[in-house]
Amino acid sequence: MKKYIPSWHDDEVAALSELAAGFFQREVMAHNEKWDAQHHIDRDVWLEAGKLGLLCCSIPEEYGGGGGTFAHDLAVFCAQGYAGDLSFGISVHSGIVAHYILAYGTEEQKTTWLPGMASGEVLGAIGMTEPGAGSDLKAIKTSAIRDGDEYIVNGSKTFITNGSSADVIVLAVKTDPKAGAKGVSLLIVDLRECVGFEVGRVLDKVGQTGADTSELSFTDVRVPVSNLLGAEGRGFAQMMTQLGQERLIIGAQASGAMNRAVHDTVEYTKSRQAFGHSLFDFQNTAFELAECQTIARTCEVFLDSCIQSHLAGQLDPAEAAMVKYWLTDQQCTVIDRCVQLHGGYGYMREYLIARMYQDARVQRIYAGANEVMKAMIAKAL
């Protein structure tokens, strides 16, 4: 079948996509057993990604980045999804944390953090979710009370991608605990030699077992007021603005994963024999894959439209919610159907489809549960 070429793919973006595909296969997927066992990916992999120009692709060159558009980052994230990997926390590092600092940081904050993030020498995380606050970010309780030229931070975070490995975190805090959403601010916290900061459990998940997903705690951590990201009390609005881009990233990974699932299942069913024929020769198998391919293609076209809107600065929150909700729902559906066509082998983790089945499920939960996405879409009607 003719390969779909996204409208946002020029020659440079296409070449970057190919480079990223080789990187994920060679540096990440080839060592899955090691990453699964240790629940994190080695720093050497981050440094290699930096050398290849796969980190912070859309950060300006003056801050060490690739100087491209967000299309360049999305090409990397799509390639990651197609590789079958959701353990390497590159999307959080490059697509989210770096862009918070770029969008809201002072010149000093940008020059301090972005070059190291682009090279892979500094690993970034974002701290939103808490044990009692997930999609409802107004409900966070981590506090940052001002004391002279410092904030004193107390609280805990959970489900933090890159949590135990990060050198820096963009931390959502309450600078005014009584002000609701208007009391939320963002702080850049240097986690290296940070007194009062502790990593709790590196969490044992159903999928994405190679990912560093951790619990973090902050006890009387002193953070300079100069580390405030943007204005005090603007954190909630900043997160709502940036979450649209995060949801687009998840859609890109979902699209890549669907295409890989269908490709591998077509290959498997054409090579697997049953009752004297290949599995693909049976009409049910062929029709199932025809439907899965159609779902994957229509999702790809919708993603393409949303990316074009985003690159033009016109992607609204409801559209971002649609692409996140719809593509992750379809990702889980398509991969589940592909597992079925693999039979018993689809349940074996030595087959990529089984890993993809496990990894996909959380896509419908993080960055705002899909039920919250539907509520956002309904509100815009």
The catalytic residue positions are: 246
Total residue count of the chain as it appears in this document: 381
* CA dihedral sign of residues 139, 141, 142, 143: positive
Integer Cα distance of 351 and 337 in angstroms: 15
- Helix and strand counts by DSSP (H, E) for the chain: 12, 9
The SS3 call for residue 10 is: coil
Q: Residue 181 burial by CB count (10 A; 0-12/13-18/19+): exposed, middle or buried?
A: middle
Integer Cα distance of 348 and 254 in angstroms: 21
**Mutual angle of helices 11-23 and 70-83, in 10-degree steps:** 40
* CA dihedral sign of residues 96, 100, 101, 103: positive
Integer Cα distance of 21 and 180 in angstroms: 43
In angstroms and rounded to an integer, the radius of gyration of the C-alpha atoms of the chain is: 21
Integer Cα distance of 219 and 72 in angstroms: 39
CB proximity list for 362: less than 8 A, separation 6 or greater: 205, 206, 207, 208
Q: Which amino acid is at 183?
A: G
Q: What angle do CA 217, 222, 226 make, to 5 degrees?
A: 120
- Nearest residue to 63 (alpha-carbon basis) of 17, 16, 12, 119: 119
